[in-house]
Amino acid sequence: KPQSELQTQDHFLRTNNACIYSRVRVTNDRPAIVFMHGLGDSSEAFREMFATPLLKNHNLIAIDQAGYGRSSKAMDSRYDFKAQVERIWDVLDQLRVRSFHLVGHSMGGDIATIMCLQDSAEGRILSLTNVEGDLTTGDMFISEDAKAADDEENFEEWFCQTYREGTVFIEWAPQRASKARYYAALHFARMEAFRQNALEIYEIHLRESSSGFGNNYLQVQTKKCFCRSIGSLSEQSVAFLQANNL
């Protein structure tokens, strides 16, 4: 095994209302990178980061949010962003991670943005890399479908059959390995966690006009970078990035 793999440890840390899993490689006092997964996903999305020699000189922490991956359910049934962020800060404190670079994919980018806004005075977050996070209403197609199913009191069937088995397994999984891994992660995701987070993304965009998380991202003063692959972002969000010189 590569040296980076041999140093990796699994941690299950108790917060006030959940046991949170984190995949950790920490050795001495080195720059740290914290990874936040997307909606329905898990820390497995960042498995390759622990094996690449490009990050051999960094401490790495990938966290499963409550209700996802190997983390437990939330004992208070709260999966909203405020509650998830509080748990993440608690885990980082227990791991004694004082300063770090933050990487968030999809919904993880949204949560990472919230963390940066909270951290503006303390300065623990050294940089933000937002990978395909939600910027405008054009990005919330999954949340829109989840909201429509919830309004029709048909969320469970939509999540299990239409989205997980239809969209992800039949349409996305054959395209590349990361999508197949995402399909597997959805079987570990608690449906209520997915529901609460999808609906919150939808509501934030409605409340904050057409650029809810985009406006939040603009307010981040930390060094930041937005990453996307070709065709992964809506035309509306591409226009938003161009209009704001991002």
Output the DSSP codes for 113-138.
HHHHHHTTTT--EEEEEEES---SGG
Residues in CB range of 227: below 8 A, 6 or more apart: 129, 130, 131, 132
How far is Cα 226 from Cα 104, in angstroms, rounded to an integer? 10
In this predicted structure, what is the pLDDT of residue 123?
95
Query: What residue type is 76 in one-letter code?
Result: D
* Amino acid 155: pLDDT: 98
Edge-first strand order for the sheet with 125-131 is 9-14, 19-25, 59-63, 32-36, 100-105, 125-131, 223-227
- C-alpha to C-alpha distance for 138 and 129, rounded to whole angstroms: 20
Using the predicted structure, report yes or no on whether residue 106 has a pLDDT greater than 70: yes
The tokens for 36 are 């936040």
At 136-186, the pLDDT tens digits run 988 889 999 999 999 999 999 999 999 999 999 999 999 999 999 999 999
Q: Residue 84: CB partners within 8 Å, gap ≥ 6?
A: 65, 66, 111, 197
Would you say residue 1 has pLDDT above 50?
no
In which band, very low, low, confident or very high, does the pLDDT at 210 lie, cut at 50, 70 and 90?
low
Rounded-to-integer distance, Cα 181 and Cα 130, Å: 20
Say whether pLDDT at 6 is over 60.
no
B/e letters for 90-124, b = 16+ CB within 10 Å, e = fewer, are: bbbeebebeebbbbbbbbbbbbbbbbbeebeeeeb
Q: How large a percentage of the chain has pLDDT more than 90?
A: 83
Give the model's confidence band at 3: pLDDT under 50 very low, under 70 low, under 90 confident, else very high. very low
